[in-house]
Amino acid sequence: MEHLNQYHPPDLHLFDRLPDGFTGIAIEKLGSILPGPSLIRIDGKKGAPLFVSILLHGNETTGFAAMQQLLTGFGAPHRRLPRPLLLFVGNVAAAVRGVRKLDGQADYNRIWQGERYPEHLLARHVLAEIVKAAPLAGIDLHNNTGKNPHYGCVNRLDQNSLSLARRFSKTIVWFTEPHEVLAVALSAICPAVTLECGVSGDAAGTKHVENYLRHCLELPEESLFTPPANHHNDLFHTTARILLSEGIRPGFGQFDDNTDICFREELETLNFERVPEGTELGRYLNGQPPLMVIDNLNHDVTDRYLLFSDNRILTRVPVVPSMLTRDVKVILQDCLGYIMEPYQAKE
């Protein structure tokens, strides 16, 4: 197997108890107690463990902060949790530096299928440990860089996964691509959800996640997977993602010498809104259209969704975007955002 980056396969560090100092350490010093990706078993009173993943992206810190507050509140590791917890702390090296991932490193939320990168060996090791632990449920915690509501994502439309998502937010997204994310792999093992918790550093987001995790640890299994009494929700299906063409330099507001495409200043406000046909998303300089829209089968469906006219980028049909971001590095490393459609799950 030829690896596509220069990094050695990272070791998985296994802990049978919460490392001393975890609940109070600053994230930039996390490497002093966790030498790298770590799987931590934290004792609980009874039952199957809850699996939680944090810091797959090093600059998405709400999960880390919420976990510190949660464990402090329960008095861990000196007091047992209501149920066992299996905690995966992902890209420690990136977290210490405050970045999504290190340059040249694989994205830690794109390594859970395949074998192109050294990090795929790490992913296989983690998944093997999760299978052995037979968790009750799996929760992967993330942040957005753009303006989005708090929402839960599922990869299967089973009642248990939907109930996990509903307990976090009435807004739920069903997606199957990218299929290399952790939650897709988790969903083959147990009910699983990805929680998108707003922007990093927001105290309300941290408290929301802390309360959610506390309920997951305290509720009996049958209650955890029972839909909340007010279980009305907005369910969306992700149908496509929006990518920049190779070499395109993005910007916002006004063009300058370093931009080939200029998106509307308030692009992020379109997230989770019903955006009508003919809405202008941005403008581009002369040449080939600078955006591609790729569907879940990896087909180019740009012409289905976008119209390029007089160097303007317009929506060809009504769309519901998500995760549109102004973070240029995220746009270049990942994508501009996603296109969704409302979906009605079968009862």
- pLDDT tens per residue, range 76-104: 999 999 999 999 999 999 999 999 999 99
* CA 224/CA 161 separation, integer angstroms: 10
6 belongs to a structural domain: no
pLDDT of 11 higher than 80: yes
- Does 177 share its domain with 255? no
107 belongs to a structural domain: yes
49 belongs to a structural domain: yes
User: What domain range includes position 290?
Assistant: 238-342
Q: What is the pLDDT of residue 232?
A: 60
- Does 224 share its domain with 254? no
Contact 234, 172 (CB under 8 A): yes
- Does 216 share its domain with 244? no
What is the model's pTM?
Answer: 0.91
For residue 138, what are the β-bridge partners? 51, 192
* CA 134/CA 322 separation, integer angstroms: 32
Dmax over Cα atoms in the chain, in whole Å?
Answer: 66
Strands 151-154, 85-89: pairing kind: unpaired
Beta-carbon contacts of residue 4 (< 8 Å; ≥ 6 apart): 116, 117
157 belongs to a structural domain: yes
Rg for the chain, CA atoms, rounded: 20
pLDDT of 7 higher than 90: no
2 belongs to a structural domain: no
* CA 29/CA 59 separation, integer angstroms: 14
- Does 221 share its domain with 273? no
- Does 227 share its domain with 326? no
pLDDT of 233 higher than 80: no
* CA 332/CA 280 separation, integer angstroms: 21
Average pLDDT over residues 150-156: 97
pLDDT of 206 higher than 50: yes
- Does 217 share its domain with 249? no
Which pLDDT band, with edges at 50, 70 and 90, does 6 fall under?
low
- Going by C-alpha positions, the residue among 83, 67, 77, 42 that lies closest to residue 211 is 67
Tokens coding 211: 């309360």
pLDDT of 1 higher than 80: no
Beta-carbon contacts of residue 291 (< 8 Å; ≥ 6 apart): 242, 243, 244, 245, 261, 302, 306, 313, 336
- pLDDT digit string (tens) for 287-327? 788 999 999 999 999 999 999 999 999 999 999 999 999 99
- Does 284 share its domain with 326? yes
Q: Quick one: residue 184, left, alpha or beta (phi over 0 = left, psi -120 to 50 = alpha)?
A: alpha
Q: What percent of the chain has pLDDT over 90?
A: 87
Contact 115, 16 (CB under 8 A): no
* Angle of the 203-218 helix axis to the 62-74 helix axis, nearest 10: 50
- Does 318 share its domain with 263? yes
Domain of residue 165, CATH code: 3.40.630.10
- Does 172 share its domain with 296? no
Among the candidates 232, 261, 280, a domain finishes at 232
Among the candidates 232, 250, 273, a domain finishes at 232
Among the candidates 232, 251, 283, a domain finishes at 232
- Does 224 share its domain with 306? no
Q: What is the pLDDT of residue 231?
A: 59
> Where is 34: in which H helix or E strand?
none
pLDDT of 228 higher than 90: no
4 belongs to a structural domain: no
Domains held by the chain: number: 2
301 belongs to a structural domain: yes
DSSP code of 129? H
Contact 165, 153 (CB under 8 A): yes
- Does 103 share its domain with 179? yes
330 belongs to a structural domain: yes
- pLDDT digit string (tens) for 109-142? 999 999 889 999 999 999 999 999 999 999 999 9
Question: What is the residue-wise DSSP string for 214-275?
Answer: HHHHHS-HHHHTSPPSS---EEEEEEEEEEEPTT--EEESS--TT-SEEE-TTGGGGTTS-B
- Does 36 share its domain with 172? yes
Q: What is the pLDDT of residue 2?
A: 42
Hey, which of 125-129, 158-162, 164-168 has the most confident mean pLDDT? 125-129
